């Protein structure tokens, strides 16, 4: 059997910020009643965090949950733990109206590190990237040029971006272009 691999496995680019195509990341799309007690408990059991508030992400170490829509979360777990996590979810949510699907291999994830990451995002997405408008713990679904994308800032000067795997190369090229030396704008710091 072939080994699973992330798209662009580990591709890197050094501009005025560093762009990295990250490795395999376990992702589970969970739909259901986000206010339900059973769902809250299941999310906690699998990720260690409470159901995040709208437009927020909660992380605890390598696991976490991101708010995708009023009835959808994206659960992040290590790639190797997805099967166990799914099993747990199905056990704990049995009998309730929900959907839990492994989407790990349908997504790509990038990190952008360095000064000016806010600018790189602002060049590509219609998102207010001023510090007071978007900070740590915020999670935003939007478009990156012509493709859907989601982003958050796990720490200052670092952005993580998730998009569909099929457009990983397009996303990487966009980020490369936006991070190219000489492209600093200096408006957002």
CB of 13 to other proteins, least distance (A): 24
Beta strands in the chain (DSSP E): 12-14, 18-21, 26-31, 57-60, 63-69, 72-77, 99-102, 107-113, 139-144, 147-155, 158-164
Nearer to other proteins among residue 146 and residue 155 (C-beta): 146
Lookup result for tokens 């991101």: 66
Shortest CB 72 distance to other proteins, Å: 8
Distance CA 25, CA 37 (A): 27
Element (H, E) at 172: helix 168-179
Question: Residue 99 in contact with residue 73, Cβ under 8 Å?
Answer: no
* Site string (33-72) toward other proteins, x via CB under 8 A: ---------------------xx------------xxx-x
Compute the distance between CA of residue 165 and CA of residue 31 in angstroms, rounded to an integer.
21
Q: How many residues bind other proteins (CB under 8 A)?
A: 13
What part of residues 140-179 is at the interface with other proteins (CB under 8 A)?
140-143, 148
Q: How far apart are CA 65 and CA 161, in angstroms?
A: 14
Question: Where in 107-146 is the site for other proteins (CB under 8 A)?
Answer: 126-127, 140-143
CB of 140 to other proteins, least distance (A): 7
138 versus 184: smaller Cβ distance to other proteins: 138
Output the smallest distance, CB 141 to other proteins, in A: 5
Which residue, 92 or 147, has its beta carbon nearer to other proteins?
147
Contact set with other proteins (CB under 8 A): 54-55, 68-70, 72, 126-127, 140-143, 148
């Amino acid at each position: 059997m072939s080994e699973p691999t992330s798209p662009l496995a580990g591709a890197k680019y050094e501009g005025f910020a560093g762009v990295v195509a990250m490795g395999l990341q376990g992702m589970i799309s969970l739909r259901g009643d986000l206010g339900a007690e059973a769902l809250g408990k299941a999310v906690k059991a699998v990720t260690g965090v409470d159901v995040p508030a709208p437009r927020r992400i909660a992380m605890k170490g390598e696991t976490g949950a991101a708010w995708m829509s009023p009835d959808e979360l994206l659960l992040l777990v290590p790639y190797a733990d997805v099967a166990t996590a799914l099993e747990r979810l199905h056990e704990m949510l049995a009998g309730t109206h929900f959907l839990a699907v492994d989407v790990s291999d349908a997504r790509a994830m990038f990190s952008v590190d360095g000064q000016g990451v806010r600018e790189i995002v602002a060049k590509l997405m219609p998102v207010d990237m001023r510090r007071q408008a978007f900070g740590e713990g915020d999670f935003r679904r939007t478009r990156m040029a012509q493709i859907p994308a989601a982003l958050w800032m796990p720490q200052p000067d670092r952005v993580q971006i998730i998009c569909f795997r099929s457009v990983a190369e397009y996303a990487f090229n966009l980020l490369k272009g936006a991070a190219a030396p000489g492209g600093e704008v200096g408006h957002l710091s």
